[in-house]
Amino acid sequence: MKKAAAIEALKFVKPGMNIGLGTGSTANHFIEALSVKVKEGLDIKGVPTSRASKDLAEKHGIVLTNLDAQPGIDLTVDGTDEFDPELRLIKGGGGALLFEKIVASSSRLMVVIADESKKVEKLGKFPLPVEINRFGTTATAWKIERAFAHLKLDAKLVLRLQDGKPFVTDGGHFIIDCAIGEIPEPGKLHTLLKSIPGVVETGLFIGLCGVVLMGTPKGVKEFRRG
């Protein structure tokens, strides 16, 4: 179903585009599908959102550029951990949320590809990743806890680990995964968390996604914001 959604996303691709390439298993399906078109002669350039997506795109022969050379891009195609009826997202399970958000916010259109398991009525089933500066980790986590308490949200915070050590993002930061449950006001929570010194970015993507393509056993269903 993810692969079907990835292939469907190709309908948004036009010759000459600069395309943001998301990170994760679902986004990888799109990179691979896009590479087939490139081998057939499609002229595009990719803007990877992580070392992993860069390596995969290069492996498949996709010409790459970056936001320094091309600060405004045409399209980003990426996966998601959750999306709600307003096409607000939780992202960051793959650890690339900061770069993904920078690329998405630089794009004319963000298309998200997903399967049915990612659709929720209210965000929060998936733990919210919060990317933080490595300096003052404990102090920043304490302030994050206070922010959740201020909004009367009961959150369990866990520093993400890899091989027994703190996971480090491509940007050199740590990630705190926050198990919250339903988030009644995602926009308010994002604003409050971003006001904390030490918080680099949150996994709440609000007002960025324009289209969700959701793979189902009966085909791909399309949702549009607004």
pLDDT in tens, 135-188: 999 999 999 999 999 999 999 999 999 999 999 999 999 999 999 999 999 999
**Helices 186-194 + 137-150 axis angle, to 10:** 150
Reported as a single tens digit per residue, the pLDDT across 67-126 is 999 999 999 999 999 999 999 999 999 999 999 999 999 999 999 999 999 999 999 999
Q: What is the pLDDT of residues 19-39, one digit of tens each?
A: 999 999 999 999 999 999 999
Q: In the structure, what pLDDT confidence band is assigned to residue 50 with cuts at 50, 70 and 90? A: very high
Report the C-alpha gap between 96 and 81 in whole angstroms: 12
SS (H, E, C) 65-96: CCCCCCCCEEEEEECCCEECCCCCEECCCCCC
Residue 226's pLDDT band, with cuts at 50, 70 and 90, is confident
Q: Across residues 206-215, what is the average pLDDT?
A: 98
Distance, CA of 96 to CA of 83 (rounded, Å): 17
Please give the model's pTM, rounded to 2 decimal places: 0.96
- Alpha helix locations (H) across 60-180? 97-105, 137-150
Coil/strand/helix, residue 164: coil
| β-bridge pairing 18-21 and 73-78 | parallel
Kindly list the catalytic residues: 100
What confidence score (pLDDT) does residue 71 get?
95
The string over 11-49, giving b where at least 16 C-beta atoms fall within 10 Å of a residue's C-beta and e elsewhere, is ebbeeebbbbbbbbebbbbbbbbbbeebeeebebbbbbb
Q: Which two tokens stand for residue 213?
A: 């393509």
40 has a pLDDT exceeding 90: yes
